[in-house]
Structure 1
């Protein structure tokens, strides 16, 4: 019977996790069904799923069969600590035949009389998503076949969690980014503005953003930026940098000071974050602009009767990691009537297999001192054409009307 039982438990586990109706279930229902099946399959008293939080340092009880208190109480276990933490850190199965305060972090496990535990990691696409553990109130040692069966369940749950998180994060990031882009551009007499934003097909949603806002004293602030990375985290960081820059812009008239404050904030509160930003303040009363650039590509200036050129801005280091601790610099630029400026992110000019300078030169050739909507259309038609952009593209065009 033992020889028959070995393939049977694996077969039952495979049937439990590959059942076609499972594909139609949302994550919560999938966990509920698989945990009940696992409890029956392995003849255990409890089955619990703990998921890794966004920091990657904590396991949080998400679903259980037999120990509902773990979820109700929001049990958290540090990665590397105790039983579940060891499973997460090692990324391999762990068994316990003694369950007490010396071996597990969660007191519920020994308070409920568990005598044996088996935990396995949940890994999908090389990413640790959590831990599944089962417990028994009677002493036992789980067989290799039982460990393998639980790992099959964990692998199926890991895929479900990964897909759910990816889908949810993309939707949340897209909504967040859309909410942070200006719903309308300022309407200032003598100045025309237009903008474009197109998400990349490869990166999903990333940290590209643009912003245009009115400032006291007949001034206009123009921002273009790009947070390194993509997905929800990049979008969240982008939102925080955008809000901080707006706040600093109200108190500091010099863009270099604003970027310096932003760098200090990001370096302290956004550990591991890097972003490129160009920030300009246009004084509509004097027709002058002051601009500071932190690691970003320089804006273009098209003036009637002159060749289109890149602004001779001082390109300082990107925002983050205290790279700009030695100070940042602004330059003054005259913006005569009829002049057009183009601010953009690198998605507009970078292409795989093509030198960046070639993309910049092509953009420079196509931009002329036309109205901003036409300039955006020119840029997108030439630089994007009929091929989807692989990276996010943000463009802002500003023209001093005649």
Structure 2
């Protein structure tokens, strides 16, 4: 744990606040000295054990919720990769020297993810501040009755805050369900693409609201050509789903009459100026010509599609990328480019949830994608789509939704 001459293990042990490192399975990986002092436990009693085997809820108090609330917070951090600051918790602790005797304790926990090289949550940093002594100190000034009243008030306020959070969570869950249903109704099932096989996938985000901004579209065009598009609206929930539906429909119509992908995105960009919430949307439009074996493409700030050639090499189509919709003060015609392919190639379009991870350069995600495609170059479109999601999406889910289209060429 040394870097640039700094011993981070020593720093961790010297932290004045009680801190513990937990695995994704909520097993103690390490604790600092302040945590041992606060808990009244030895390192051997904690490290390597499941957290809630060491610190269960008080069985004599049917209203005890500390374990339930803390476990929910920790699992949320593991699933989403997002930091979670909890409300004040009453969490009784059993005296290790006097089994069956429980002390009322009050804690203020913060749980933060520690990401591994693959962008997934490897550890959770659990930091706690105990405020029990503060309450007791105030009790020394006001008297025992005042102490008990203050404890009861703090506990009541904490429970009320938890109830508010739970109501918000349920409301968010309802909005998520409605938004996902709306999105499902607006996203088309893949139709026939001549002799080509296409597969589409949509993977919702783990978070309650970070869904429904991504879309895909497939359309047959005259002359044996077909168009494939993906896009990503900034925002989430019902608002993003509504904007997504408008933009997807507009681009699907535009590509049928426009002279190429760039002209279709030009039309979409002009239309987006009249749609509230469409600013900074990214979109990618491709037109595939099976007779000339070319892919013509244009991107409005979107991650580049991947062209998997039959020999396993991967070409990222990044020679026609302009800013997202609405990013320019004045309308400027967009550019497009062309790439060639041979029989047995595959084209992969996706949204950023497939490749982007917090605290990681996007090139790392693109390398992961290219490696996965090369290893599975002989898979059909459906198998390849399922494999990409299985290998590239973190096991606990992602904090951003992901749309994916794979077309066998």
User: Fold match, TM over 0.5?
Assistant: yes
Q: CA deviation at 1:374?
A: 2.4
Counterparts of 1:313 and 1:291 in 2: how far apart (Å)? 9
1:175 matches 2:175: no
Structure 2 stretches of 5 or more lacking a match? 1-160
Instruction: Show CA shifts across 1:192-231 (max 9, x none).
Output: 1112111001244230111112122222110111000111
Instruction: Show CA shifts across 1:347-378 (max 9, x none).
Output: 01112232221111111111033321222123
Q: Which of 212, 225, 228 pairs up with 1:222?
A: 228
Counterparts of 1:324 and 1:347 in 2: how far apart (Å)? 30
1:189 matches 2:198: no
1:352 corresponds in structure 2 to 358
1:266 corresponds in structure 2 to 272
Distance 1:312 1:270, change over 3 A: same
Distance 1:188 1:206, change over 3 A: closer
Superposed, which structure 2 residues align to 1:61-80 within 5 Å?
none
Q: CA deviation at 1:169?
A: 2.9
In the TM superposition, structure 1's runs of 4+ consecutive aligned residues that sit over 4 Å from their partners are: 158-165, 321-324
User: C-alpha root-mean-square deviation of aligned residues, in Å?
Assistant: 2.6
1:311 corresponds in structure 2 to 317
Q: CA deviation at 1:286?
A: 2.2
2:349 corresponds in structure 1 to 343
Counterparts of 2:220 and 2:369 in 1: how far apart (Å)? 28
Normalised to the residue count of structure 2, the TM-score between the two structures is 0.55
Q: Matched residue of 2:238: which SS?
A: helix
Q: Which of 211, 235, 246 pairs up with 2:241?
A: 235
Q: CA deviation at 1:176?
A: 1.1
1:210 corresponds in structure 2 to 216
Q: CA deviation at 1:161?
A: 9.4
Counterparts of 2:398 and 2:288 in 1: how far apart (Å)? 30
Normalised to the residue count of structure 1, the TM-score between the two structures is 0.56
Superposed, which structure 2 residues align to 1:137-148 within 5 Å?
none
Q: CA deviation at 1:168?
A: 4.5
Instruction: Show CA shifts across 1:272-295 (max 9, x none).
Output: 622100100112232222111000
Q: CA deviation at 1:250?
A: 1.9
1:396 corresponds in structure 2 to 405
- 8 Å CA contact 1:317–1:323 kept in 2: the answer is no
- 8 Å CA contact 1:206–1:234 kept in 2: the answer is yes
- 8 Å CA contact 1:367–1:378 kept in 2: the answer is no
Counterparts of 1:387 and 1:324 in 2: how far apart (Å)? 42
**How many residues are paired up?**
245
Instruction: Show CA shifts across 1:31-76 (max 9, x none).
Output: xxxxxxxxxxxxxxxxxxxxxxxxxxxxxxxxxxxxxxxxxxxxxx
- 8 Å CA contact 2:233–2:278 kept in 1: the answer is no
Structure 1 stretches of 5 or more lacking a match? 1-154
Counterparts of 1:377 and 1:397 in 2: how far apart (Å)? 10
Q: Matched residue of 2:218: which SS?
A: strand
Counterparts of 2:319 and 2:186 in 1: how far apart (Å)? 27
Q: CA deviation at 1:399?
A: 1.3
Distance 1:189 1:272, change over 3 A: closer
- 8 Å CA contact 2:278–2:325 kept in 1: the answer is no
Q: Matched residue of 1:224: which SS?
A: strand
Counterparts of 1:324 and 1:214 in 2: how far apart (Å)? 32
Q: Matched residue of 1:325: which SS?
A: coil
